[in-house]
Amino acid sequence: MRRWVMILKLYEYLAKGILAKSGIPTPPGRLAMSPDEAAAVAAEIGAPVALKAQILAGGRGKAGGIRFADDPEQARAVAREMFGADLKGFRIDRLLVEKKLKIENEIYVGIAVDAAAKVPLLIASAQGGMSIEEVPEKAIVKRPIDITWGLYPYAAREVVRRLGLTGTPAKQVAEVMIKLYKVFRAYDAELVEINPLIVTAGKGPGEEEVIAADARLNVDDYAMFRHKDLPTVEEGTELERKVRAIGLSYVELDGDIAVMANGAGMAMATLDILSRYGGRPANFLDAGGGAAVEPTAQAIEVLLAQRPKAMLINIFGGITRCDDVARAILWVKQNRGIPVPLVVRLVGTNEAEGVRLLQEAGINAYKSLDEAAARVVAAAGEAQ
């Protein structure tokens, strides 16, 4: 059975706690585990406040995971609505209640591992507050960091200059970058980012403040033994965790065609080809590594439970045997039913036997992935 790597990915409130200890300013606030606690925090720090769902997913604001309240009673009412709600596949069970800040400017600052260059990479943009993937490349400043020497102040100042910052905010942002790199190294991070790093107006020129309004910290899996004091959280929605428990790698997407393939590379190629033909994959599912009949059948059942418009199973048999996959498909068909159009591409080890088993059950198996992809996209379109 394949080992699913646990990701040491911290909630925002935990990441902010580490940043605060490192000298990076964060908003006043603390965690609330109930509506009454949310009201108490609002009274303690003073309204207005922001109530922020603590989930391991980006885009919370657009999805309704960040809301505001003008007084403690409103904070209690808003918290009641948020607790227990589903947000991007996660159940909200904790809220970070923070002082609502007056924002003058938003900046993105992050440090990540550049896998190709094998060095830390400082990434910054004057267009903070949005996913860095959505920021135009020309608006992003990147600077590799020599891990032997670290991030020198002059290098941070150069990045800040390229962002167009001046005066007090420029000095403070440069200081945040240096401290952020120290966090990156101290915690063996894969990624540490502040988005947005906000600039408040202050009482006048020279009195602006730079504050980390959000924070993200992911620690390298292989360094977890050095950070046993940090809580580990398995990333993923309830469905993703369910499939991983079977021993398969699974990620939910937002399409309507369920996908199963053997091997991560094969699965990615399948998603790409589906997109080329105008299809919208509902998931990534790697059933490779010689998955047996039972877990394969369980995975098919889980995919069907999501009510896709069609399903594509793409198998290039090596360790995974085509006849085992065929038997898994037939078991589900006979015992649970397959209520959506099913398209199978079956090539490789025990191919002839797998194809024979499927054909006897009235299921056609394709050799060409392009042909299979075109067919399943058409089937999904007909199901609308």
| Segment 55-77, tens digit of pLDDT | 887 778 888 999 999 999 999 99
Domain with CATH 3.30.470.20 in the chain: 105-226
At the topology level, CATH places domain 28-99 in: Dna Ligase; domain 1 (3.30.1490)
d(CA 228, CA 320): 37
Q: What is the pLDDT of residues 227-276, one digit of tens each?
A: 888 876 655 566 777 776 666 778 888 889 999 988 778 888 999 999 99
238 is catalytic: no
Q: Which residues contact 83 (CB under 8 A, 6 or more apart)?
A: 34, 35, 92, 93, 95
Question: Rg (Cα) of the chain, in Å, rounded?
Answer: 25
Beta carbons of 255 and 280 less than 8 angstroms apart: yes
Which of 13, 108, 181, 250 is the catalytic position?
A: 108
CATH superfamily, with its number, for domain 238-382: Succinyl-CoA synthetase domains (3.40.50.261)
Q: Give the rounded percent of residues in the chain with a pLDDT score beyond 90.
A: 61
Residue spans of beta strands (DSSP E) within 72-208: 86-87, 90-91, 95-99, 105-114, 119-125, 140-144, 189-200
Domain with CATH 3.30.1490.20 in the chain: 28-99
d(CA 329, CA 302): 13
Tokens 């995974």: give the residue. 320
What's the pLDDT band for 203 if we cut at 50, 70, 90? Answer: low
44 is catalytic: no
Q: Tell me which residue of 305, 292, 377, 384 sits closest to 339, measured CA to CA.
A: 305
Q: What is the pLDDT of residue 105?
A: 93
Domain with CATH 3.40.50.261 in the chain: 238-382
CATH code of 105-226, in short, is 3.30.470.20
Q: What is the DSSP letter of 225?
A: G
Q: Give the rounded percent of residues in the chain with a pLDDT score beyond 70.
A: 92
Examine the pLDDT at 318 and tell me if it is beyond 90: no
d(CA 345, CA 373): 9
Half-sphere exposure of 236 (CA within 13 A, CB side): 19
Which of 37, 98, 193, 240 is the catalytic position?
A: 193
